[in-house]
């Protein structure tokens, strides 16, 4: 083996290592654009499995952030004008951030200027479930995720046509995914 051959082997090894180190940023676990809840730490998260979940609050407490747990499992409400989607106009789909269930399309969203993301319809009839809520001396309809049962927000009758409904949601329990062009 002469000197030129050694040189070729050295350059070949260098290039292989360079490609390997560059491509490591593409593995799923390192993808900064991946939805936050879609991780190995949340075994219940799925955008394809529509089977209803029966998970205890104690189990969710281990999986969700404190802020998400408070809204999703303790019917908390984020402060108006603070969530990431109240004034957001991206084209795509909103999923339940707790379990991955598809909830709304962006074409069902409208600007209600109430400080929370507002929709006039769900992506499909059984995407959400509804419950009478008489807390805080008010008569409201609570909206829950149709798959995991998490609290999402409330439903009001002051929305725009054609449904005249207003799904007043908490951003923290929503996860937006843009349409692929
Ligand atoms: Fe859910």
Domain boundaries, the chain: 3-178
Rounded to two decimals, what is the model's pTM? 0.78
* Residue whose structure tokens are 């999402």: 152
175 alpha carbon to ligand 1 midpoint, in Å?
A: 11
CB 50, CB 95: distance < 8 Å: no
Residue 40, phi then psi, degrees to nearest 5:
-65, -20
**Which positions are catalytic?**
168
How would you classify residue 28: left for phi > 0, otherwise alpha for psi between -120 and 50, otherwise beta?
Answer: alpha
149 alpha carbon to ligand 1 midpoint, in Å?
A: 6
Summarize pLDDT for 7-34 with one digit per residue, the tens: 433 333 333 333 333 333 222 333 333 4
Of 8, 15, 4, 36, nearest to 172 (Cα)? Answer: 36
Summarize pLDDT for 154-166 with one digit per residue, the tens: 999 999 999 999 9
pLDDT > 70: percent of the chain:
78
102 alpha carbon to ligand 1 midpoint, in Å?
A: 8
**Tokens standing for 142?**
């609570």
**Any idea what DSSP says for residue 68?**
H
User: What pLDDT score does 80 carry?
Assistant: 96
- Residue that wins the pLDDT comparison between 142 and 41: 142
34 alpha carbon to ligand 1 midpoint, in Å?
A: 18
Question: What distance in Å separates the CA atoms of residue 81 and residue 113, rounded to the nearest whole number?
Answer: 9
58 alpha carbon to ligand 1 midpoint, in Å?
A: 16
171 alpha carbon to ligand 1 midpoint, in Å?
A: 13
> 116-145 burial by CB neighbour count: b if 16+ within 10 A, else e?
bbbbbbbbeeebbeeeebeeeeeebebbbb
pLDDT band for position 41 (cuts 50, 70, 90): confident
CB 59, CB 73: distance < 8 Å: no
Summarize pLDDT for 119-156 with one digit per residue, the tens: 999 999 999 999 999 999 999 999 999 999 999 999 99
23 alpha carbon to ligand 1 midpoint, in Å?
A: 33
User: What pLDDT score does 34 carry?
Assistant: 40
Name every residue whose Cβ is closer than 8 Å to that of residue 77 and which is 6 or more positions away in sequence.
71, 153, 170
For the CA atoms of 103, 149, 173, 78, what is the dihedral angle to 10 degrees?
Answer: 120
CATH for the 3-178 domain, from 2.170.150.20, 3.90.1150.10, 1.10.3720.10, 1.10.10.10? 2.170.150.20
């Amino acid at each position: 083996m002469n000197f030129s051959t050694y040189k070729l082997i050295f350059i070949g090894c260098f290039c292989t290592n360079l490609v390997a180190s560059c491509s490591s940023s593409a593995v799923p676990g390192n993808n900064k654009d991946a939805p936050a809840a879609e991780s190995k730490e949340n075994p219940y998260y799925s955008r394809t499995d529509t089977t209803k979940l029966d998970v205890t609050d104690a189990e969710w407490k281990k999986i969700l952030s404190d802020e998400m747990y408070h809204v999703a499992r303790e019917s908390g409400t984020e402060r108006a004008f603070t969530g990431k989607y109240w004034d957001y106009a991206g084209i795509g789909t909103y999923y339940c951030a707790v379990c991955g269930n598809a909830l709304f399309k962006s074409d069902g969203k409208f600007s209600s200027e109430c400080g929370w993301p507002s929709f006039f319809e769900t992506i499909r009839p059984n995407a959400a479930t509804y419950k009478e809520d008489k807390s805080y001396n008010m008569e409201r309809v609570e909206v829950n995720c149709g798959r995991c049962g998490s609290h999402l927000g409330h439903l009001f009758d002051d929305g725009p046509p054609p449904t005249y409904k207003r799904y007043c949601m908490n951003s923290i329990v929503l996860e937006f995914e843009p349409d692929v062009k």
